[in-house]
Structure 1
Amino acid sequence: MTAEIPKIEIISDKEHIGSHKEDQVGWRQDRDAFVKGMKALQESSRTHGIIPKLQPHFMSLKKQGKTSMVYLCSPDTDHVATGLMDLGWGCGYRNCQMLMTYLSKQREENVPILDGVVNIKGLQLLLENAWKEGFDPAGAAQLEHRVYKTHKWIGTTEVYTMLAYLGIRLTLGDSCTILDFDRPTGTNNSHDAMFDWIQSYFEEGCSEEGKLGEADARQQHTGKQKDRVVHITNRPPIYLQHSGHSRTIIGIEILSDGKRNLVMFDPGRRMARSYKKKVSVPEDDMYNSGLLSLNNDEENTSTDTPPEELPDGWLSKMRNLFTVPASNLLRPFRVDSNSIASNPQYQLLVLGEVNELRVTAPTHQCLRWNPNKSFLLSSEERDQNKKIGSFRVV
């Protein structure tokens, strides 16, 4: 039997005489009480602070002449890994949780947009409650109105439904929508239009006054912004769905030969210890985690030979033995265009608002993310966005 969860009371504008601000405050209180009633995501599934740690590895590839430019999303985005209990079916929930890690660290009117990240069972209850309130009736029917304590897969529409139910904006103009790249647009089945849009999305994040990532803001202040290779922006991550799997886009890499890689968090990949440690990563051509470990344990060794008396070349040999190439450390995150070409269709779910500009250009070049729009829907907007639509970009 499906567990019951409290219904969120939404007061419409007709029923409430007061300011829009008061309406928003009441909505937030109801929503936050709901989230607090759910069990939180276990910290063992979550890895904080990965995005800044990617920077030196990309810098290393730049020195080797392999990488030209990298754009990354907000460092407030955490990686969430699939566990044994949801192996093979939980990717949709895990990617939703990654979006929620970003939202939980954003503030509007000095209040967190989302008060915490709930576990998978909590998300399943949330989804069922959203269906009861009339969100995505077609999707509810397809999944027989039940997901709690099941291993049913979910996709883009269910992730949208859960977040919209919590009052999070995911719209194109005034309508809720999913960006649909339903066919390849380049040679060898490549998705050039999708890559173009994603690149533009992150590039534009470098020029938003007051909204730059901390690293980019420091470089702009010192006049070195134009010389940067890795741009860490404040743009939200993007949910990406294709047949059978979903991932979270955290950036894009432009290679020296003009080819591009998506930079993604895959819930099916566990994070290496080097990304979990709270240590600064050296900006070197190679990240030698093994050598760092040797140095840290040096005082506990029983050798009678002090380091300065070791034979010439010993340190160099040990460095080569324990170093890991930057490309290997980035392998869990980089996905090239050939891999993306293996699927004919992709859907993107973008936090916030995307607007279609009235200009004469291919459709994917007319869509722009609005950095000035609130992430939170009003109660009226939330009611208007219960039905889901998709926007065919190409």
Structure 2
Amino acid sequence: MFSVCPFCHNNVLPVELERHANNHFLEDDFEKDMQLAKQISLELPNSGAMGAPLYREESSNTLPRRSAEISKSTLIENPKELKEAHREERIACIVGLQTKSIFDKVEGGLMPLLRRCLEFENRKFKSVISGYIDHYQSMKLEDYGWGCGWRNIQMLSSHLLMQRKEARDVLFGGSGFVPDIPLLQRWLEVAWEEDLTCQDHAFFRQTVFGSKKWIGTTECAALFRSFGLRARVVDFDSVPFSNSGDSRCKVVVKKVYGPMDKFVRPCQSDQLKSILDHDSSDKGGNTIGHQVLMEWVWNYFTQGTACRLDDLQNVLISPKTPLYFQHDGHSRTIVGINMQMSVKGSQETYSLLILDPGQRTKDLERTLRDNNGWQKIIKRGVHTLKKPQYQLCYIDPGVACMEELEDLKTIHSEYIRL
């Protein structure tokens, strides 16, 4: 069933062997080019002479490379130019190597099936959901147990490529498709080269390609920001404050639960302070506190909807992107939210609508087509939120440029206490 890679001796599927082996050559070529560039930059310039080519010529049966002659004095005086040349070269190689990720395509789309099921519900239930999205499940022989973060990035990417033209033009070199996990790992390394979350980059020892390292919200934001997309991070935290006074509007040093939130700098957003006034103390766990998270998600998806939910319409399509939903140990994708209308003297009851990479796509499709049992695998009520910390990542419309692009290199989060 498997073939052994002659370079790293790992077991890979036969159909993946050629691409897997070629990636090893890409690593070797890139390292040789870096060494050659460093050697050129250290040599003394000859009077009136031009330096040797920065990149060597390649034969027709190897990766295409751009030949460029740069003077030795220029290399010494402009290290940023040298770095940019290498970055462009690496991106060209990645674009040339990209392959479309394989996934189970749902005929007619997954979200129309979900919408139909929600419309069949009792009118006391109101829902707001995202538009198009593909479900990417973790594969037992490929990424099961560690790849959920990458699968959620693939889900977000499928939405952006279908729903936002400006994102389709810049994502993954304009390829128009969602790459597989190894190439997403390459793109994240390119993001780190842009000095995005440099501490995050150090945590992973400058490399993630070919590894089974877990990633999370911060890495998701870094990857999308490297394309100029406005990826935002929100922290929900029930860790007690040590500050005195009104602590709900102050920054707190949080306990680290994994690489996903180690390097996010919390900052307070004025527009969220009214939500923070919600009383989050309760004696039976933190259900009241996590109600704040539910209300935030409801407000997020309902913002910008063309009309209001009423007796004639109980499902709306939101213009917002799905949410990358991270907590300790796992991540999922929130594609909408369901609300049960309150009766007199009670609160509204919310349920997140979630696509989990751990679920099989065929199981999701079957339960939705039959309108039977889908609630158990898609709906998640407030009582299921048992973790002390949650993080969300969403992507605002548009593509940044110039000064804003530089600002995106530093990832902050909006901080909300539960």
Task: Give the TM interval when normalised to the shorter protein.
Answer: 0.5 to 0.7
2:197 equivalent in structure 1: 136
Per the alignment, in what secondary structure is the counterpart of residue 94 of structure 1?
helix
Report deviation, 1:379.
4.2
Q: Which residue of 2 aligns with 1:254?
A: 339
Are 2:403 and 1:348 equivalent residues in the alignment? no
2:299 aligned with 1:200, yes or no? yes
Decide whether aligned partners of structure 1 residues 70 and 149 sit closer, same or farther in structure 2, where only a CA change above 3 A counts. Answer: same
Deviations 1:105-134 (A, max 9, x none): 134479745332111000111112222231
Query: Separation in 1 of the partners of 2:363 and 2:294?
Result: 31
Which ranges of structure 1 fall in alignment gaps of 5 or more residues?
Answer: 8-28, 172-177, 209-219, 282-286, 288-325, 353-372
Change (3 A) 1:54 1:200: same
Alignment match of 1:156 (pick from 217, 220, 226): 217
- Residue 335 of structure 1 is matched in structure 2 by 380
Q: State the Cα deviation string for residues 178-234 of structure 1 (Å, max 9, x = none).
A: 2111128364312111111110111224237xxxxxxxxxxx9xxx97511121222
- The reply on whether 1:120 has 2:152 as its aligned counterpart is no
Deviations 1:337-382 (A, max 9, x none): 1111x11111111111xxxxxxxxxxxxxxxxxxxx51x1114322
CA contact (8 A) 1:243 1:343 kept: yes
How far apart in 2 are the matches of 1:347 and 1:110? 23
Q: Is the 8 A contact 1:47 1:80 kept in 2?
A: no
1:216-295 alignment, distance < 5 Å: 227-256=312-341, 258-272=348-362, 275=365, 287=370
Give 1:182's match in structure 2, choosing from 237, 253, 259: 237
Rg (Cα) greater in structure: 2
Deviation for aligned residue 1:385: 1.6
Distance 1:207 1:90 in 2: 36
Contact 1:89 1:151 survives alignment (8 Å):
yes
Residue deviations 1:284-328 (CA, integer Å, cap 9, x gap): xxx3xxxxxxxxxxxxxxxxxxxxxxxxxxxxxxxxxxxxxx451
Separation in 2 of the partners of 1:43 and 1:161? 24
Kindly provide the CA deviation profile for residues 16-52 of structure 1, in whole angstroms up to 9, marking residues without a partner as x. xxxxxxxxxxxxx999967743423433355471111
CA distance, structure 2, for counterparts of residue 45 and residue 274 of structure 1: 11
Query: Alpha-carbon deviation of 1:77?
Result: 1.5
Contact 1:179/1:393 (8 A) holds in 2: yes
Describe the shift of the 1:165–1:30 C-alpha distance in structure 2 as closer, same or farther (beyond 3 A). Answer: farther
Task: Give RMSD over aligned pairs.
Answer: 3.3
Distance 1:158 1:46 in 2: 26
Q: State how far apart, in whole Å, the 2-side matches of 1:179 and 1:124 are.
A: 23
Percent of paired sites with the same residue:
29
Q: Distance in 2 between matches of 1:276 and 1:87?
A: 22
> In structure 2, what is the Cα distance between the partners aligned to 1:243 and 1:87?
17
* DSSP-derived class of the 1:332 partner: helix
- Give the deviation of 1:166 after TM superposition: 1.8
How has the CA–CA distance of structure 1 residues 46 and 343 changed in structure 2, closer, same or farther, with 3 Å as cutoff? farther
- 1:37 aligns with 96
Say if 2:327 and 2:389, in contact at 8 Å, map to a contact too. yes
Alpha carbons 2:104, 2:362 under 8 Å: kept: no
Deviation string, structure 1 residues 247-297 (Cα, Å, up to 9, x no partner): 1110111125632110011111012367279xx95xxxxx3xxxxxxxxxx
CA distance in 1, matches of 2:170, 2:90: 10
Aligned to 2:73: none
TM-score, normalized by length of structure 1? 0.64
Q: Secondary structure at the match of 1:152?
A: coil
- Equivalent residues of 2:128, 2:317 under 8 A apart: yes
Aligned AA (2:286): N
CA contact (8 A) 1:92 1:153 kept: yes
Residue 93 of structure 1, CA deviation: 0.5
User: For 1:111 and 1:147, how far apart are their aligned partners in 2?
Assistant: 25
Change (3 A) 1:273 1:247: closer
Tell me the equivalent position of 1:302: none
Q: Which residue of 2 aligns with 1:105?
A: 162
SS at 1:154 equivalent = coil
Q: What SS class does the counterpart of residue 229 from structure 2 fall into?
A: coil
**What is the deviation of 1:58?**
2.1
Q: Give the structure 1 partner of residue 51 of structure 2.
A: none
Higher RCO structure (Cα 8 Å, ≥6 apart):
1
Match of 2:40 in 1: none
> 1:183 is matched by which residue type in structure 2?
S
User: How far apart, in 1, do the equivalents of 2:134 and 2:393 lie?
Assistant: 17
**TM-score scaled to structure 2, two decimals?**
0.60
